[in-house]
Amino acid sequence: MNTYTRRALLGSLCLAGLAGGVSCVAAPGAPAGSRRREFVVFDGLLYKPMPDLRSMGMPKLLGVGNIWRPGQSHEDVDPAGVAEAVKFVSHYTENYYFDVENWYVSSVAQSVIDANIQKMVSTAEIARRTSPAMKFGIYNVAPQGTYWPVVLKNTDALKMWRDVNRRSAAIAGKVDYLFPSLYTFYNDPAGWETAARGIMQEARQYGKPVYPFLWPEFHDSNATLRGTKIPRDFWRRELEVCREYADGLVLWGGYTQLWDEQADWWLETKLFMESLASSMKPRPSIT
């Protein structure tokens, strides 16, 4: 999603949690590689009216987008603004994420990248001091999302991407969770899977639980496909790839849209959740 859309939605997400008295407590996933690890599916959806999905084992995840007090520059860290935002969500959740998309870590000068990484490090440090018991991450950094460099195996572009991710280890060291973006730009399941696997493998270098963001629509940067739901079989593939490579995932999307209990993507998600529940059941003992 674009920066304006995502930032506008984060306030709505927090208010939705406030209005509904949502509990957002969720246990983190176990390390990847455990065949029967817990796989957490967070509900970050914004449809109206939004059902409470906790009964399906999907805890609500709240976001923090506005970390500045009125009149404060968004180019700098506002310590008091960060603390106020964290205190606000602490009444409704134990897990949350920051979304600060104007501190770029690509396509700008190296000095700007380093400065913006340090801003996110400082933000995380303030958040930790403000509410030490809460667990959080920062959306789409450590690692940063990408597509064509991984799909095309572009050596130079991959080197630049990995260098930024290496520098972003300073951010990963301050958070509890990693929230890479795996949104769908094209109707190309094989391309999406190649990029997604590369991003999640890159995330493993930090040693933190990985919860990628998925959106059941094609990304709004695609003028032809934006607003279109991802085909059901493609969507299931995305869920299963995350199941293989991550500790869980975050479902996102639905702003200004009505909830549709019969939407193909949701019917497939429910089947996926049933398969998760079945896989976690104790196996009968053999006598």
The parent domain of residue 179 ranges over 3-280
Q: Considering its fold, how many domains does the chain have in total?
A: 1
Q: Is 285 inside a domain boundary?
A: no
Q: Give the number of other Cβ atoms within 10 Å of residue 27's Cβ.
A: 11
Instruction: Establish if 248 belongs to a structural domain.
Output: yes
* Domain membership flag for residue 286: no
Q: How far is CA 21 from the centre of its chain?
A: 22
- Over the stretch 143-188, which tens digit does the pLDDT of each residue have? 999 999 999 999 999 999 999 999 999 999 999 999 999 999 999 9
pLDDT tens digits along 85-98: 999 999 988 899 99
Average pLDDT value for the chain: 88
185 found inside a domain: yes
**Predicted TM-score of the model (pTM):** 0.86
CB atoms within 10 A of CB 146: 23
Residues 213/247, Cβ–Cβ less than 8 Å: no
pLDDT per residue as tens digits for the range 213-237 = 999 999 999 999 999 999 999 999 9
Q: Which two tokens stand for residue 248?
A: 């869980």
Contacts of 58 (CB under 8 A, 6+ apart): 41, 42, 43, 251, 273
Amino acid identity of 240? Answer: E
Tell me, what CATH number does 16's domain have? 3.20.20.70
SS3 at position 49: coil
pLDDT of residue 180: 98
Kindly state whether residue 179 falls inside one of the protein's structural domains.
yes
